[in-house]
Copies of this chain bind each other. A is one copy, B any other.
């Protein structure tokens, strides 16, 4: 009932043999090729993330860009738990003509950089668009796991890096043509540089594994990663911890050139920072006396409060910060 594979294109088994050779060359062993991968005993943190063309990244993104983003987004979840990445499992559904080898070459190179072994997966054909999900297993990096429920009144709230830049990058991509960002909108070299950096930030987030490892060696504090926007994710952290929080607008870390870039895009920097989403920096809390090493780049953005609810302090005025941001079921795609 099914046509035999076309030998010119090379079927699934050919691709898997190629992949096994590459993995063996990289890590000396492979568990790929059986019905399931066997892992050595250990306690694992497990996370899974889906990336869909046209939803999570531009339809025309190169296979290598997609592969690196898929891994980075997942690694950010492990960083948030204080986990060290160990094993990856890929479910990839790609349309006809997709360059699997470019995708896997980039994925394996990125895996090597972060100490991850691609240990199994599943390949399928997708009629319209690329859909990939990656499951990552990590082991405990520090002395404890870091969880969302660990915030306590009196803790300080910290952001692991700048906010809103990824959302600005998404806006730049939406307004770009095949030739790149519109020149007339980004008149100066400085603006063009900021636009390029924002696109890079959106397409290639940098998981904060060192920061997560450091948090795992502290005795107290909550942690999570900001994927759906600071406002929504902070509400989640507070709900899990049974606390509230106060965000000081003036303390929110912005990337260099972020404010003028927002002006050129006609977007409000504060809105992007609070609810743009896909920042992939850690959001965490620490007892006030504990301060992360400056080279980790974290910024204190307000206190955790006993009073429930999340508020924003702007020019001395306190307003409620609503639970809005990226929602994967109701947001536009």
Chain A residues near B (Cβ < 8 Å)? 1-6, 9-13, 15, 33-50, 52, 54-56, 76-78, 80-81, 83, 87, 89-93, 100, 119-129, 131, 133, 135-138, 145, 147-149, 167, 170-171, 224-225, 232, 236, 240, 267, 271-272, 275-277, 322-333
Q: Kindly list chain B residues whose C-beta atoms are within 8 Å of the C-beta of A327.
A: 2, 5, 11-13
Q: CB distance B50 to A333 under 8 Å?
A: no
- Would A54 and B328 be within 8 Å (CB), given that A48-B91, A48-B121, A48-B135 are in contact? no
Closest to A119 in B: B46
Q: CB distance A12 to B93 under 8 Å?
A: no
Contact for A36 among B33, B83, B90, B330, CB less than 8 A: B83
Q: Kindly list chain B residues whose C-beta atoms are within 8 Å of the C-beta of A11.
A: 327, 329-330
Which 8 A-B residue pairings sit nearest by Cβ, starting from the closest? A91-B133, A36-B47, A5-B330, A36-B45, A35-B80, A135-B135, A35-B77, A50-B91
Q: CB distance B49 to A125 under 8 Å?
A: no
Q: CB distance B1 to A167 under 8 Å?
A: yes
A35 to B333 CA separation, bound complex (whole angstroms) = 23
Q: CB distance B126 to A2 under 8 Å?
A: no
- Would A332 and B2 be within 8 Å (CB), given that A46-B39, A48-B122 are in contact? yes
